[in-house]
Amino acid sequence: MSFDEVYKKHYKELRLLSRRLNISSEKGEDLIQETFLRFYLELEKNVEIVNPRAWLYKVFLNLFKTQVNSEKRVIQNDGEPEGLADNVYDLQAEYINNEKQNIVIESLKRLPLKDSEILLLYNNGFSYAEMAEIVEINPNSVGTTIVRAIERLKGILKNHYNEMFEQN
């Protein structure tokens, strides 16, 4: 698969991952471009990347962690979903949608970073082996990490958003 095909195929996935990790759109775009740049340079060096998707996620998350270590996470408070400016939404539906999006972002933010990562990768259909490779953990502990992360997420949702979920 050529570079352009990989870029077109996985760009939106990384954009979604970026949004869920509460990275501002500008910085998220920079991280995505940096990720693809590294991928491009690897291809230029004729390095064979067997699983480009897992490779891109790993590099993106590593870049993100490096950024988190150097500065606090940027809180995106505008509440408006990106790229939807041209879409016409029912106001009430948009309000509910924005609220849910904020809940997702806020809940993931309350989790330890490793838990957020593993849940997002799990939701994106990665195998245990791929997840272990991406977040650099023992493959045998992936199941435990997923269970623990789900339990923590449930605790957060129950403590902070139970009322809102009951309403919807």
List residues binding other proteins (CB under 8 A). 3-4, 7-8, 11-12, 15-16, 19-20, 29, 33, 36-37, 40-41, 44, 81-84, 86-87, 97, 100-101, 104, 107, 119-120, 122-123, 127-128, 143-144, 146-147, 150, 153-154, 157
In 3-state terms, what secondary structure has residue 44? helix
For residue 123, the minimal CB distance to other proteins (Å) is 5
- Tell me whether residue 44 or residue 48 sits nearer to other proteins (CB atom): 44
For residue 146, the minimal CB distance to other proteins (Å) is 6
For residue 34, the minimal CB distance to other proteins (Å) is 10
Contacts 24+ apart (CB under 8 A), 59-65: 59/35, 60/14, 60/17, 60/18, 60/31, 60/32, 60/35, 61/117, 61/134, 61/135, 63/31, 63/34, 63/35, 64/18, 64/21, 64/23, 64/31, 65/113
